[in-house]
Copies of this chain bind each other. A is one copy, B any other.
Amino acid sequence: MSLRYAALGLLAQHPGSGYDLLRRFELSMGNVWSATQSQLYTELNKLAGDGLIEVTSVGARGRKEYAITEAGRAALRAWVSEPDPEPIRNRRLLRVFMLGEVPPAQARAFFEQTVAASERTLAELQGLREDVAWSDTASDRYGRIALEWGVRAASMERDWAQWALGELDADGASAGHDEGHSVG
């Protein structure tokens, strides 16, 4: 259901073809939502069928330019403030839960990799924050706020993984990997 609104939102900012949207998904929205080509074209046809967007012109190579309709804008406005019970699903944390089943060295490696990955993400996003020529438009303002979330999330994750490594050192000496009751 979310892709529907992601596409609608992009068309609200600016009309375009499926192909255009696909690139905008990668560029401006890539850090927030992703879509495959297949899924997007299917959804655009559904959105048009529901009257939330419409084909405004057909160009070369069968290019169909879509624009959002008034009904579409209304649907988008309603969706933005809809309460969302975010299904909890975090693969990284799921793996953390399983760490008791692997040798301690593998657990350490897991957190070391997390630190490294977070630092890469952090560097990338901080680069973006500096390099992008932010305009004074509403979409750029909110794009910047979304990016700030990414920076803070990456930084939090790095700190957490580093803290976890410390925890392993602190009480890891006293406990084995299958059970915590003292072994020696």
Contact = CB atoms under 8 A, between A and B. Distances in A.
Interface of A: 2, 5-6, 9, 12-13, 29-34, 73, 76-77, 79-81, 83-84, 86-102, 106-107, 109-110, 113, 135-146, 148-150, 152-153, 156-157, 159-160, 163-164, 167, 171, 174-181
The interface residues of chain A, by DSSP majority, are classed as helix
The 4 tightest CB contacts between A and B, nearest first, are A100-B138, A136-B180, A137-B180, A9-B98
A39 to B, nearest CB: 12
A165 to B, nearest CB: 10
Contacts of A102: 77, 80-81
Contacts of A12: 98, 101
Given A135-B180, A152-B160, A171 B141 contact: yes
A98 B5 contact: yes
Contacts of A177: 138
Given A9-B94, A97-B142, 14 more contacts: A6-B97, A31-B93, A33-B88, A77-B106, A80-B102, A81-B109, A81-B110, A93-B146, A96-B146, A99-B145, A100-B141, A136-B171, A138-B175, A153-B156
Contacts of A84: 91-92, 95
Contact of A93 (B32, B87, B160): B32
Contacts of A159: 152
Contact of A76 (B6, B88, B98, B164): B98
A56 to B, nearest CB: 18
